[in-house]
A and B are shown apart, each in its own frame.
Chain A
Amino acid sequence: MKNLKVLVLLALAFTLAFSVVACQPAVEEPAIEEALVEEPVAEESVAEEPVAEEPVAEEPAEEEVAEEPATEEVTVTVWSWRTEDEDAYNEIFDVYEAAHPGVTVEFVPFVATDYNNILATGLTGEGGPDVAQLRAYGGIQPLIEAGQLLPLDGEIESLANFPAGLLKGATALSDGRIYGVPFGVQAFTAFYNVAIFEELGLEEPATWNEFIAVLDALQAADYIAISAPAKDTWMLPLIHDAVAAPRYGSTEFEAEILSGETDFNDPDYVASLGVIQDLQPYFPEDVVGIDYNSSKTLFLTEQAGIFIGGSFEVGFWRNEGPDLNLGVFRIPAPPESITDSVVPGWMDGSFGVNALSDSPDAAKELVNWMGTPEFGQMFTEKIKQLSAIPGMVPTDPLLVEFAELFAETPASYLTLVNFRYGDPSGSTLLGEGIQSMFLGNATPDSVAASMQEGVSQWFTPGE
């Protein structure tokens, strides 16, 4: 009882203390910040002085004025959703820092699932990032509409390095300006286990019939033919596009649906959903119970011959299965296809500048550099993904092959590139629809109808 009395008194004392302290932070916080900022500056001025004095003596006064702010200590904070790339980005930014004395780049990654909220609030008010990794296409629009990003076209030279198609992923629907420098592209097709293929005497299929023959042979040898997850719905639209895009007409269909000549109820689009439905026997049993990680495990542990996946998974295979002998092939076009087979891809995201950044010039200079081949090459080498800058060569042979396949027969990942600008998004409707189809609760017709109904609420053809 006595203890409790003490506890309560303590608690009350705390309360009082808080009410006093709570009034203070406005005064306290800047004081701390100042102390933090001042120290390095003081150090720097001592260290930099001899360096700074040399040019002063030799070069014209005009240069000196330009030089001064450059050598001033600037910290550019970069926010990202790629926690797994922290080390790689730090190495890349070390190179930038070496070439830009006085500039410190601080890379802060956040958990991907909550990144959108973190960024939206982070770009409001003080203390946010100077440079932010931005989602592509529809994902970037809310930030642009809220005026949280600086337009970069006309400000940044390196945007010229990108093909116009890619820049669409960082372009505002509202004013048509560009708000980010793309960092990467992703492409999607089939990985296969070379050892299993050799064991069974199989080769990369060139036609749909050969593809089905390969799947049958794998199944006959008690392998899972295609490892795929249907518990995580986000993978399903990708698999659909990788396999069945030629059936609905790929880029031709894309142009038609955007102009309003057709919609998702198009018989060819419905038939493309049927292609996926027909493949279900080749997926693992209870595919709707299998999540993304389990589907990767099946392929990693050599229980499955094929994994329909993306260039973003190369790093994972290399880390977790260094001994796996992997190849990639372009999935052949299904029967009655409108176009030849394609490798669908998309711009993965970009880096943009916070409209409230304290050092917008340093931030712009950094994102400008992120559009140069110097960054692009390091990006593809260290992060093991495809750079958005054309001509960058990855070191990983698997990624090189991916890049070649994509370069030969590129197509847009239809729902991500075009149908994520509103709610509900085409990807969500399609993912849910295919999952229901696998459960026997939906048909290709009903899935297509649901997509059309959902998307038409915000999508006006011809815009």
Chain B
Amino acid sequence: MTENSEAKKKPRRKANVGVGQSAPPWPTIIAFLLPAFVLYAVFMVWPLIQSMYFSMYEFKGLSREGFVGLDNFKELFTRYPLNEQLPRAFMHNIAFFVGTMAIQNTMGLLFALLLYGSRKGKRFFQTVYTTPYLISALVVGYLWSLMLNPLFGPVNQILKAIGLDALAHPWLGDPATALPAIILVNAWQWMGFPMLLFAAGLANISEEIREAARMDGATRWQLFRKIELPLLTPVIGIVTVLTFIGNFNAFGIVWSLGGVDGGPAGSTDVLGLVFYRTAFRGGIDAFGLASALAVLMFFFIFGISTIALKKFRKVEDQLT
């Protein structure tokens, strides 16, 4: 980065960003916040708080019985095979998150960069790449279980047709490839989302900064590495946190490709599936147990996301 652009950028960003202004009077603040607060508190938070409360009760079907304290939580870590499935599913979620960051979000950034500027057909490509997101997970699951089917799947047929027989493989039937296959399908569906966010982020970087860098003889890579990437930090932060939340709540796509048990042999089992099985396929006491699991998942996801956001904000501040 050249001194020129640095000097130009620094004061601008610091002086401009709006946070930290003296806040408007309380009645105004309340007027702005109240509608969202009421709607959200009544229809979302209250039922969730009740679930937390329920996690400390024994249930028989949907009828609440006695208070059992932390027994449901204890049960999660002692009941076989739940005690083995939970840590395994947790590790799969982490793999899912890392894989998605590496593949889906990198691709999103790449395509946002390729499409940046007044490239011909930009809108066409943006629309096409985002189409899979518009389709319900149901169709995506069916579609890709068909595509990857070892008997009739076009993927293997294409591989064989171009002489790559060795690569033809029961992708979803092999514990080693099932989770990677699901990560790819998930990326296929969701790539448009980070792409659009990165596109918005790139458009927010002023043309003067780029121009200044180009004048200083920066290559395309340098421009990206030294200017665009740092300035995209807020967007990267948003994308990372949303990916994290999305992956740790993943359910539909894994269910439709790996089945309710996260097969084969539990190789695609994730927390969302464990939760679903516990809540809706479990025994008579399922509801209390599932509530306990949801509470744990919530605190974990909430904790990590909050820390991550703080970290990103710090990096952002250091940059400006």
Contacts and interface: CB of A to CB of B under 8 A. Distances in A.
Whether chain A touches chain B in the assembled complex (some CB pair under 8 Å): yes
Interface of A: 15, 116-117, 120-121, 124, 138, 141-148, 230-233, 284-291, 294, 297-298, 421-425, 428-429, 431-432, 435-436, 439, 441, 450, 453-454, 457-458
B119 to A, nearest CB: 27
Contacts of B61: 120, 141-146, 148
B262 to A, nearest CB: 10
B62 A424 contact: no
Contacts of A124: 62
Given A145-B60, A290-B151, A424 B81 contact: yes
A424 B80 contact: yes
Interface in B85-131: none
Nearest to A424: B81
A423 B286 contact: yes
B175 interface: yes
A289 B266 contact: no
A356 B60 CA distance: 18
Contact of B63 (A146, A231, A439): A146
Given A142-B284, A454-B80, A231 B259 contact: yes
Given A423-B286, A454-B81, A146 B263 contact: no
Contacts of A142: 60-62, 283-284, 286
Interface stretch (B166-174, B184-192, B197-205, B238-246): B166-174
B150 A289 contact: yes
Give the one of A146, A297, A421 with max B CB within 10 A: A146
Contacts of B172: 231, 289
A288 B286 contact: no
A431 B82 contact: no
B299 interface: no
Contacts of B221: none
A439 B81 contact: no
B26 interface: no
Output the residue of B61, B80, B285, B289 with the most chain A CB within 10 A. Answer: B61
A15 B283 contact: no
A15 B35 contact: yes
Interface string B280-304: 1111111001000000000000000
B38 to A, nearest CB: 9
Contacts, number: 116
Main secondary structure on chain B at its contact with chain A?
A: loop
Nearest to A431: B261
Which of B80, B152, B283, B285 counts the most chain A CB atoms within 10 A? B283
A332 to B, nearest CB: 29
Which 9 interchain pairs have the tightest Cβ spacing?
Answer: A289-B173, A289-B170, A146-B61, A142-B61, A423-B283, A145-B60, A146-B63, A286-B170, A423-B282
A231 B264 contact: yes
B265 A435 contact: yes
Interface in B269-320: 278, 280-286, 289
A457 B60 contact: no
Contacts of B151: 284, 290, 294, 297-298
B233 interface: no
B220 interface: no
A145 B284 contact: yes
B175 A439 contact: yes
Contact of B264 (A144, A145, A428, A439): A439
Nearest to B261: A233
B80 A290 contact: no
B5 interface: no
A246 B280 CA distance: 33
Contacts of A138: 283
A298 B266 CA distance: 25
A450 B284 CA distance: 21
A231 B79 contact: no
A258 B286 CA distance: 24
B51 interface: no
Contact of A294 (B80, B152, B174, B263): B152
B145 interface: yes
20 contacts: A15-B35, A141-B283, A142-B283, A145-B284, A146-B63, A231-B172, A231-B263, A233-B263, A286-B170, A288-B174, A289-B170, A290-B150, A290-B170, A297-B151, A423-B79, A423-B282, A432-B261, A435-B265, A454-B80, A457-B79
B148 to A, nearest CB: 8
B196 to A, nearest CB: 19
Contact of B265 (A143, A289, A436): A436
B249 interface: no
Interface in B44-97: 60-63, 79-82
Nearest to B285: A423
Contact of A286 (B80, B150, B152, B284): B150
A395 B173 CA distance: 39
A286 to B, nearest CB: 4
